Amino acid sequence: MKQVSLDNGIEKLMIPGSKVAIVQEGNSLEHALLVLTKSGYSAIPVLDREYKLKGLISMSLILDAILGIEKIEYEKLSEMKVEEVMNRKVAWMRENGSFFRGLELSINHPFLCIVDENNTFIGILTRKSILAQVHNYLKFNT
C-alpha cells in the first residue's frame, strides 16, 4: 500500500510562477481584463517590475471600478491602472511553508501566492492541489 504524507512542505504541490497568469501594477484595467478573460481565472496575482507580490486583481474589482450610476464606463478600462483597484490583502505563504498552513489558508482562498524571503513571487498553491493531497492521504492511510 502506498504511503502518502501530509507532513511535507508545499514545494511539490505548487504551480511555478512561469505558468501562472499575472499582471503588473502599472498595467491598464483593459490589459488585466484581457488576461483574466484569456486565462479563465477569476483572480490573478499583481506584481511590480521586480516580480514582488503586490496584490490580486479580479473581474469583480474591474467591473466595480467601471460601473457608473447610469451606465458602464468602458473608457475607464484604458484610463485606470491595476494598482488603483487591486486588492492589497493577499493570502500568501513562504516557499518553505508547511502543508498544514496551506490547508488552513485555503479554507477561505481558492489559491495562495507563494513568495521567497524577498517577497518575490514564485508561484501559487491551489485549493485543488491541497484537497487532492488530503484525498490521497485519506485513501491510502485509512
Handedness of CA 7, 9, 12, 14 (dihedral sign): positive
**Architecture of the domain defined by 11-141:** Roll (3.10)
Q: What is the pLDDT of residues 6-20, one digit of tens each?
A: 767 788 899 999 999
What is the predicted pLDDT for the residue at 1? 44
User: Residue ranges of the domains in the chain?
Assistant: 11-141
* Residue in the block written with cell 477561505: 108
Digit-coded pLDDT (tens) for 84-117: 999 999 999 999 999 999 999 999 999 999 999 9
pTM to 2 decimal places: 0.90
What is the residue whose three cell numbers read 488530503? 134
CA distance 42 to 23: 13
